Each structure stands twice: as structure tokens, then as C-alpha cells.
Amino acid sequence: MLRRVHEPAAGDNPASPARSSLLSLAAEIRHSAGWLERRMVRSYLRRQGITVPESAEFFGFPTITAAPGSTLVLGERFNAISGRRRHVMGLNHGCVIRTIRPGAHLVIGDDVGMSGATVCAAGRVEIGPHCLIGANATIVDSNFHPLAAAGRRYAPLPEPEPRDEIVIGANVFVGAGAYVLAGARIGDNSVVGAGAVVTGEVPPDSVVAGNPARVVRAL
């Protein structure tokens, strides 16, 4: 025996009122949880004496710490994505942003976004405005241990030198998994390819890739 399958007429809404209410409630809960999460992050940072712009956005909990006597500045509309479920690529960890010794200087400009990135300053790290720091990228101005083998295991953090400073210009895109190491200077508008290792000068308006990073094309 054949049964006639009811087909909703044009204009019918296949979603039941109950389902619509549940979806609406779920959306409200997600919004409220996100708002509460961001307030908790801001409160945590301000207790450490770190100034956080009201326009900054945090998705997931980053690790942001400032050594006593150091400077850590987050620009307006700073955006940090932390946690595997927060990013389409998945992240190895939440964002890590740290000054690691007194006198260190870390400045992140306006409209900078990063996803699961690590940025550590022992001396000086500056990231210009409108930069994108891709998933799991690393920007550090220290080797954290001496290069000389003798006593390396227990040696203190090496003293920073002016040549170790990192300066990233405006509108730079650092690709996923890239390393920007001590002494790197990246010109405005440039792109660092995924997995590249940058230790020196990158001209403005260029694309670099590889280890060590080399210019592969101009923009």
C-alpha cells in the first residue's frame, strides 16, 4: 500500500516553534558565555597591571604576562583567538604573549589579529598595525639559552642585545607555523610564508618563504 507523503506548502515553516525557541536560547547562551569569557580575560589582565583596550576581543583564554618593570602594550581592536575549537585550522595552544625580563618592551599595534601565536620579548619586540599573525606562529627575540655548550643547561636567560630586536612593520601577514626570530625586521605589507624561519631583513612589499626565509616574489 502506497502512502502519500505530505509535502509542506510554499510558505510553510518546517522548523517547529519549539525547535526555533531552543536554537534561539542556544544562541543567547553562546553570546552570554562569550561576553563573560571576555570580561574574565580583561579582569585577569588588569589585575596584572596590563592595560586592555575596551575594543580588544578575546576568544578563548590566552596566556598574557608582563615581567615586573617591563612594558606590554595591546593596541586598539586587538583580536586573539585561543583554543582548538576557536579556529578552523585547530591550534596547538592558546595565544602566549609575554615579556620575560625587567626592561623588556613588547608593543602590538592597532587592529592586530593572532591565532594561537606565541610572542615573547626579552628585549624589544614591536608589531605594527593591521598585522595578521597566523595559527601557531612564533615571534621571539631570545634563544632562551646560551649558544656555548658549557653550562648551557643551568645558565640564566641571556642578556638581550640591541641587534636582537624584532620590528614587524604595518600590514604584515605572518603565515601559519612561521618563526620570526631575534634580529628579524620585516617591512610593511610583506608576507611570511607558512613554516618560514625569519632571522634577518625582509624588504617591504615582498613574500618570503623557506628556512632561512628568502624573497620568492615581490608584491
The candidate with the shortest Cα–Cα distance to 37, out of 91, 92, 86, is 86
d(CA 214, CA 208) in angstroms, rounded, equals: 5
- In the chain, how long is the greatest CA-to-CA distance? 88
How far is CA 137 from each of CA 18, 48, 68, 87, 97, rounded to the nearest angstrom?
44, 25, 26, 14, 12
How far apart, in whole angstroms, are the C-alpha atoms of residue 43 and residue 197?
Answer: 35
User: Is 31 an annotated catalytic residue?
Assistant: no
> How far is C-alpha 66 from the geometric centre of its chain's CA atoms?
16
Instruction: Identify the three-state secondary structure at position 176.
Output: coil
Contact residues for 6 (Cβ-Cβ < 8 A; gap 6+): none
> Which positions are annotated as active-site residues?
145
